[in-house]
Chain A
Amino acid sequence: MTKGVGGYLLIDHRASPGLPEDVALLAGYDPRFTGEGKVYEVNTMTCSHCGSSVVPNPMRIRPRAKCLECDNREGHYICDGCDFIRSQPGYVHTPIRKTMDDAKDGKTLQGSPPKLLMP
């Protein structure tokens, strides 16, 4: 496991037939390490906007998004979904830590999002 941010995923198929190659690819795993008798270990990345953990696709060559408002030195990883939302007009920077702080302060709107209730 690496130090720092993110997490760690272990898939142990040492006593299992493992995953077919197509399923492994669908799941974003490296199929060489998810077959019968194999162990797959990978560091996951955590999005600082929604808090999701992402298993990095080893085949990916496109750059991954980073948010310099979350980390103004190197930029903090954000997932593709949050990167899309960030590109929308009127986006207000809302990292997961702000959501947590707002909840603790009683500022978080509870219930359904207003967009679902109002035309």
Chain B
Amino acid sequence: MSKRIFQVSSFTPLQQADGVLAAGSFAGLKPGASTDILKIGKVLLQGQASSSAVTATMLARSSTLAITPTALGLPNSDGPANIAATAVTNAPVPFVAAATAPNRSPAVGIPRLNLTFNAFGGIIQWQTNPGSEEEWVAVGNTTTSNSETVLSSANVGTAGLIGADIFYEIL
């Protein structure tokens, strides 16, 4: 399948301890079917804060998946990077709100990617090597601590406004 971009224009990933994430403080993404595999190859965060704001964002997995994610709306977006791409059979589920927000996994052995930066003028980017198969992988759409990826902040500093772009692929 083609590469896709999940873009969240502007949100504040409120600093918070592990647990059910506060509304409006996260960006979530999961495959659309149980046999789909989602591979994140690049994460780009741009600071938009108007004053110094240590923002301890992290890519993590949900230990309890979001219930009834709200369909994504403008100005956020998700779609293939190649506009002529073939439509995916089961569209992935990107979301920034849900009837019940996801619970960020606190278990050891469940990976997280630390992306701490200063949202006042800072930029952070993580990506895999070109051609590398070693990307952030999520399998299926219902497995806890696996299927769902959430971008949110650890309980450090005072998070500022950021924009987020997640480049990924559905297999």
On whether the two chains bind one another, the answer is: yes
> Which A residues have a C-beta under 8 Å from some C-beta of B?
1-13, 15-20, 23-24, 26-29, 44, 46-48, 50-53, 55, 79, 81-82, 84-85, 96, 99-100, 103-104, 106, 108-113, 116
Chain B residues lying within 8 Å of A1, measured Cβ to Cβ, are 129
Other A-B pairs beyond A7-B129, A100-B37, A100-B171, 13, CB < 8 Å: A5-B132, A6-B132, A8-B126, A13-B122, A15-B122, A16-B47, A16-B121, A18-B118, A52-B136, A85-B109, A96-B137, A108-B143, A109-B143
A8 touches B144 (CB 8 A): no
A79 touches B127 (CB 8 A): no
Chain B residue, CB-CB nearest to A88? B109
Question: Which parts of B99-128 form the interface with A (CB within 8 Å)?
Answer: 108-118, 120-128
> Which B residues have a C-beta under 8 Å from some C-beta of A?
34-35, 37, 47, 52, 54, 56, 108-118, 120-129, 132, 134-137, 139-140, 142-146, 156-157, 171
B139 touches A100 (CB 8 A): yes
Question: Majority SS of interface residues in chain A?
Answer: loop
Set A15, A19, A85, A111: member contacting B142, Cβ < 8 A: A111
B116 touches A23 (CB 8 A): yes
A–B Cβ pairs within 8 angstroms, 13 of them: A11-B122, A26-B156, A46-B134, A51-B134, A81-B108, A81-B111, A82-B109, A96-B137, A99-B137, A100-B139, A103-B37, A108-B139, A109-B143
Q: Which 4 A-B pairs have the closest CB atoms?
A: A52-B111, A16-B121, A46-B134, A81-B109
Chain A residues lying within 8 Å of B137, measured Cβ to Cβ, are 51, 96, 99-100
Distance in angstroms from B70 CB to nearest chain A CB is 22
Distance in angstroms from B168 CB to nearest chain A CB is 13
Chain B residues lying within 8 Å of A99, measured Cβ to Cβ, are 137, 139, 146
B35 touches A106 (CB 8 A): yes
